[in-house]
Amino acid sequence: MTRGDKILYIVCGLLFAAMALLPLFGASGFLLRTITLALMYAVMALAWNFIGGYTGYSAFGNVAFFGIGATVTGVMMTKMRWDFAPAVLLGGVICSLLSFLIGPALLRLRGHYFAVATLGIANAAREIVAGWDDVTGGGIGLNLPLNTDKDFYTFIYYIFLALTILSAVITYFISRNKLGFGWLAIRENEEGAKALGIDATLYKTLAWVLACFIVGITGGIYAYYNTAISPEAIFNPLYSTTPILITLLGGTGTVVGPILGAMILLPLSTWLLFNFPGIQPALLGIIIILTIIFLPRGLYEYLSGRRKLTLAALLKNPRDNQA
Amino acid sequence: MNTPLRLIGLTTIAAILAACGGAAAPAPTAAPAASTEKQPAQPAAASGACTISFGAAVSFTGSTAAEGKYTKDGYDIAKDKINEKGGIKVGDKMCKLDIKYYDDASSPDQTAQLVEKLITEDKVNFILGPYGSSSSDTAAAIVEKYKIPMIEANGAAESIFARGFKFTFAVLSPAGNYLRGILDLVKVKDPSAKKVAVVAETDKFALEVAAGAAKYAKEQGFEVVYNDKYPAKATDISSNLTVIKGLNPDVILGAGHIQDAILTIKQGKELGVNAKAWGFSVGPTAPEFRKSLGKDADYVLGAAQWTEELKLKGDANDPFSTPQDFAKAVRAKFPQGGYETTIPYQVAESAAAVFAFQRAIEKAGSLDAQKVRDAIAALDFDSFYGKVKFDERGINTFKPMAVQQNATDGGNYTVGPAESASKPFEYPAPAWGSRK
Amino acid sequence: MNSIQFAQTLVNGIILGGVLSLVALGFSIVWGIMHVVNLAHGAFIVLGSYITYTLYTSLGIDPFLGLPLTMITLFVVGYATERWIIHWVIRAPLMAKFFITFGIGMLLENLILQVWKADVRSVTTPYSGASLAIGGVNIPLVKLAALALSILMVIVFHLFLTRTRQGNAIRSTGMDLDAARLTGVKVAPIYALTFGLSTMLAGAAGSLVSMTTSFTPDAGARYTVYAFLVSVLGGLGNVPAVLAGGMIIALIQVFVGFYAPALKDAVSFVLLVVLLLLRPQGLFGKPFTSGKAE
């Protein structure tokens, strides 16, 4: 670990500490919601990072499991009168089971084909939930019970904060463990990894199931937070794309990248919304384009000191990546 | 590793984080999207002058940007009218009215975030609804949480009101009522018309419209020969129409949004699907419908929450007293607003939401959220927009809906209810092949 | 389903297949040659629709006569987009390329909104909706023309890619960028040309769909998803496969749609996933340069 890494971990630790204390200092409901959503995306970014960052499989349809997690939670809480916690957990478990069943077959695909297959799964899941009126409420969706406790939103805030920290800690330990090294080996050269005796199918499937479990849990919590869920809302493709963007911005295959990415991109997008109403999407588009041209590996390598952030370094990326 | 540039990078992140904290903190640098006045003053103040602040998260961008504009125009018309007359009477003070707007980009998540900002940071007194059923749904949960009353004018799905919320009210008729007027018209005009086909988009609002229409059709003695749906945002519904064609319905009803109405007519014509009456929940009343379809828009009926030709009369306190007066005011205020031929009902219902607040606040004599909420629940008045009164769920089920028809002369006229008809109902629609 | 309905549904499918093929053609070419999945493809289609709309409503130019103009405009826009933006990330990781086009799509959609506003539009000519009725089966003429145009484009493109010098250069860069460069192909202009041609085809598709349905600035996502379905089903190896993929997706849509219209997309996507698992190169594609798993 470089000194830069240590600094970054301390920055993240301070950030988490500040967030943990924030509600105690009378933060407004809006500030809490903004950070809650940023944390929700951070969790999903950390989840995507397992499969997309460390293992190098370009999952592009994680919203499938967000939506399934939300739907399972919604159905259990409204139709079965389950409590929140078991309903969310069941959502996560069902997502893991589904991803475990399709994982080995799906993960034989690589690159674009894997991305497209996951996109297909996301769309198929949405259409099935929308068409299965009797169970999921179909296109109308479900209304979860409204929690009228005055601290409810703070409660959700802390859940997402805890989930972010937990996911980051899991990422940290896995990345220093045989599993993490296995993932990296697969990412760099899958045939080579197999030759080294790594059970690639098992390792990949673990990354995929872990990611899907976390995303499913996140979807379930979101359902309870938002109370009204319809297929159109919970299968919004933005729940697939935003976590990936966050990870790309922060740095793929790193512990702090997804967290920093989320804490930069989402507040920035909210800030643009207030200051440039109407053209916010265009500005966000330009920022995305510039980030990818000049920082294709994200901010992490500069922030950790692995690479010097100089003008020459920034200009080198587009030169190296051009046709 | 020691480069100053790296430090700059870290500081930038810190700065951005601080900035977003700052943007969210008590003194927002955030400029309101389109507020006409400066920062609303706190409502207290001495000397009888005060301001009541309303907040609204409306779509200026995204999929419902066009309807979002109608909504905002409606709110603004009402605000100007009230301020022109000195404001809203609260006890013995006259309070000016201010509306703070944000763009929710047609995303329900964003609506929730912005409504919470309006309540917890901008400290607005009351909330005006966003555009659309999904956004209204998330906004309803927030206002319920903070116990701030919201009157919404653009979320017709009844599922919003099936949740026992106490602080959300809708001035518009619920989705299930949309297509009733069209069936009533056909039944009177042609008792022999029996077969009805209902086709719906898979969407919260549209499915409620379709269910309501099918139920009402059966009650009225029609035979529902087709009642099915297609995926949301479809660009091809030829399969549904091919089945419908084989059933030879007398009436084809479409539940969905304006895109669906245009698609149904275009593909219906291509496939030679004929019906004596075509009716849609949303679309035919908007100026874009005629612009998009030209002559093919002829005979098509559209459900309307309100039209400027309705024979309605406001009570003595109503600022406009008739729909015609309201229409005149809209055209005067927005000469370039695209309102030359038709005034979309979204403008009127949005204005009605503001006037409903005015009545309730004046009756409550206070800005206390709970008192105003109780006054809204007890409202019962006649206006240029029709009766405003809420059932126990908070929906205005007392207002009738109108039917507009795109007539063969190119105009758009109110044909139902019968007493407000400005032109006879043109029926039956000739088969596509025999039109000129 | 009686025989007339069967025939009508078959016609609906073939005609829809023509439209979907054209929607997917440019997308598939860029993917196959440049290894870029263009998430902005739908936005380019919508831009084509708006240009057609403006030509028709402001200048009175018929959509079919305006087609070359729309296509040229879109070619220029696409060529510039590649030279100024995509050019710089061609060798970047797969996800970076995904998201550069995602950013371009966001930007383009918002620019369209600024220029044309959010109102729903559609192009309706005097002959819109005209159809040929043969024994109870209606064949919409505009869509028949679209089908003919799609087939024509597919043939022209196939010949261009296989018979011309430029086309061979494009295909060889698709197979191996560095090898192509070594044999003297100037890669940068070839990529710009490829991308320009693909947006040009998107423009043609936009012109045609502007007449058959309505559009708003945000209508593009739907088309991008169909482009995915068709390209993957057909396979990326050759141009005629796109036509086959389009036809198959369209026939599934209309026949499933006849019995369970709400599930037609669900069935299409499940089929996409199953097919990918069984035959990743698509039904008609050649196995795609497997070493380079991008």
- Residues B233, B152: one domain? no
Residues in A touching C263 (Cβ below 8 Å):
127-128, 131
- Please state which of the ranges A187-196, A307-316, B173-182, B244-253 shows the lowest mean pLDDT: A307-316
Write down the pLDDT at residue B3: 46
Phi–psi pair at C64, nearest 5 degrees: -75, -40
Write down the pLDDT at residue C285: 61
Residue A159 contacts B where some CB pair is shorter than 8 Å: no
Residue type, B8: I
Phi–psi pair at B402, nearest 5 degrees: -110, 170
CA distance B132 to B153: 9
Write down the pLDDT at residue B44: 46
Residue C72 contacts A where some CB pair is shorter than 8 Å: no
Distance from CA of C90 to the nearest CA of A (A): 5
Q: Given an 8 Å threshold on Cβ–Cβ distance, is C262 in contact with B432?
A: no
**Mean pLDDT calculated for residue range C148-167:** 87
What's the token pair of residue B305? 């929450």
The Cβ of residue C134 has, within 10 Å, a number of other Cβ atoms equal to 10
Q: Given an 8 Å threshold on Cβ–Cβ distance, is B103 in contact with A277?
A: yes
Strand partners of residue C138: C133
Chain B residues whose C-beta is within 8 A of a chain C C-beta are 61-66, 68-69, 202, 228-231, 233, 235-240, 242-243, 245-246, 258-259, 262-263, 266-267, 269-272, 286, 288, 291-294, 296, 338, 432-433
Write down the pLDDT at residue B43: 46
Residues in B touching C117 (Cβ below 8 Å):
65-66
pLDDT digits (tens, 9 = 90+) for B80-93: 999 999 999 998 88
pLDDT digits (tens, 9 = 90+) for C84-140: 999 999 888 888 888 999 999 999 999 999 999 888 899 988 888 888 888 889 999
- Residues B153, B236: one domain? no
B336 vs B47, more confident: B336
A 5-44 residues with CB < 8 A to B: 7, 11, 15, 28-31, 33-34, 37
Over 70: is that where the pLDDT of A199 sits? yes
CA distance B250 to B277: 7
CA distance B57 to B150: 12
Q: Does residue C266 sit in helix, strand or coil?
A: helix
Q: Which helix (H) or strand (E) holds B12?
A: helix B4-24
What ipTM score was computed for the predicted complex, to two decimals?
0.90
- Residues B201, B252: one domain? yes
CATH number at B182 reads 3.40.50.2300
CA distance C26 to A70: 36
Q: Given an 8 Å threshold on Cβ–Cβ distance, is A277 in contact with B34?
A: yes
Residue A268 contacts B where some CB pair is shorter than 8 Å: yes
Phi–psi pair at B38, nearest 5 degrees: -70, 175
Q: Given an 8 Å threshold on Cβ–Cβ distance, is C273 in contact with A124?
A: yes
* Overall pTM surpassing 0.80 (yes/no): yes
Q: Given an 8 Å threshold on Cβ–Cβ distance, is C133 in contact with B433?
A: yes
pLDDT digits (tens, 9 = 90+) for B164-192: 899 999 999 999 999 999 999 999 999 99
- Residues B262, B366: one domain? no
Write down the pLDDT at residue C237: 61
Residue B271 contacts A where some CB pair is shorter than 8 Å: no
Distance from CA of A291 to the nearest CA of C (A): 9
- Residues B272, B153: one domain? no
Over 80: is that where the pLDDT of A36 sits? yes
Q: Given an 8 Å threshold on Cβ–Cβ distance, is C104 in contact with A245?
A: no
B4: left (phi over 0), alpha (psi -120 to 50) or beta: alpha
Q: Given an 8 Å threshold on Cβ–Cβ distance, is C99 in contact with A285?
A: no
Report the share of chain B in percent with pLDDT over 70: 89
CA distance C43 to C104: 9
CA neighbours within 13 Å on the CB side: how many for B311? 8
Which of C120, C128, C144 has the most B C-beta neighbours within 10 Å, making it the best mutation to test the interface with B? C120
Q: From B12, which residue of chain A is nearest by alpha-carbon distance? A: A264
Distance from CA of B24 to the nearest CA of C (A): 25
Please check whether residue B129 lies inside any domain of the structure.
Answer: yes
Residues in B touching A11 (Cβ below 8 Å):
10
Going by pLDDT thresholds of 50, 70 and 90, the confidence category of residue B376 is: very high
Q: Given an 8 Å threshold on Cβ–Cβ distance, is A248 in contact with C293?
A: no
Please check whether residue B385 lies inside any domain of the structure.
Answer: yes
The Cβ of residue C60 has, within 10 Å, a number of other Cβ atoms equal to 9
pLDDT digits (tens, 9 = 90+) for A159-191: 999 999 999 999 999 999 999 999 999 999 888
Closest CA to B6 of A84, A15, A304: A304
Are B426 and B276 in contact by the 8 Å Cβ rule? The answer is no
Please check whether residue B429 lies inside any domain of the structure.
Answer: yes
Indicate the domain borders of chain C.
Answer: 3-118+184-278
- Residues B285, B202: one domain? yes
Residue C155 contacts A where some CB pair is shorter than 8 Å: no
Between B229, B243, B338, which is nearest C262 by CB? B229
Q: Does residue B43 sit in helix, strand or coil?
A: coil
Over 80: is that where the pLDDT of C294 sits? no
Residues in A touching C188 (Cβ below 8 Å):
322-323
Over 60: is that where the pLDDT of C12 sits? yes
B 97-116 residues with CB < 8 A to A: 102-103, 105, 107-110, 112-113, 116
Please check whether residue B395 lies inside any domain of the structure.
Answer: no
pLDDT digits (tens, 9 = 90+) for C160-212: 888 888 888 888 887 777 888 788 778 888 889 999 999 999 999 999 999 98
Residues in B touching A281 (Cβ below 8 Å):
61, 105
Q: Given an 8 Å threshold on Cβ–Cβ distance, is C213 in contact with B258?
A: no
- Residues B117, B194: one domain? no
Going by pLDDT thresholds of 50, 70 and 90, the confidence category of residue A312 is: confident
Q: Given an 8 Å threshold on Cβ–Cβ distance, is A131 in contact with C270?
A: no
Name all chains with 3 or more CB-CB pairs below 8 Å to chain C: A, B
A116 vs B54, more confident: B54
Pairing of strands B251-255, B195-201: parallel
Strand partners of residue B198: B227, B253
Q: From B245, which residue of chain C is nearest by alpha-carbon distance? A: C5
Going by pLDDT thresholds of 50, 70 and 90, the confidence category of residue C289 is: very low
Write down the pLDDT at residue B148: 95
Going by pLDDT thresholds of 50, 70 and 90, the confidence category of residue B28 is: very low
Please check whether residue B1 lies inside any domain of the structure.
Answer: no
What's the domain count of chain B? 2
Distance from CA of B381 to the nearest CA of A (A): 31
Over 90: is that where the pLDDT of C277 sits? no
Residues in A touching B257 (Cβ below 8 Å):
none
The Cβ of residue B392 has, within 10 Å, a number of other Cβ atoms equal to 8
Quick one: angle between helices A152-175 and A3-21, nearest 10? 160
Going by pLDDT thresholds of 50, 70 and 90, the confidence category of residue A133 is: confident
Name all chains with 3 or more CB-CB pairs below 8 Å to chain A: B, C
Residue A230 contacts B where some CB pair is shorter than 8 Å: yes
Residue C112 contacts B where some CB pair is shorter than 8 Å: no
C 212-251 residues with CB < 8 A to A: 221, 225, 228-229, 232
Between B231, B240, B266, which is nearest C265 by CB? B231
Residues in A touching B105 (Cβ below 8 Å):
273, 280-281
Q: How high is the mean pLDDT of chain A? A: 91
How far out from the chain centre does Cα A85 lie?
Answer: 21
Write down the pLDDT at residue B29: 36
Between A285, A320, A323, which is nearest C188 by CB? A323
The owner of tokens 């990412």 is A187
- Residues B115, B234: one domain? no
**Mean pLDDT calculated for residue range B314-331:** 91
Domain residue limits at B211: 177-304+401-434
Over 80: is that where the pLDDT of A269 sits? yes
Q: Given an 8 Å threshold on Cβ–Cβ distance, is B24 in contact with A31?
A: yes
**Mean pLDDT calculated for residue range A95-123:** 91
Going by pLDDT thresholds of 50, 70 and 90, the confidence category of residue A232 is: confident
- Please state which of the ranges A88-97, B94-103, B187-196, C280-289 shows the lowest mean pLDDT: C280-289
pLDDT digits (tens, 9 = 90+) for A83-93: 999 999 999 99
**Mean pLDDT calculated for residue range A83-104:** 94
Write down the pLDDT at residue B203: 87
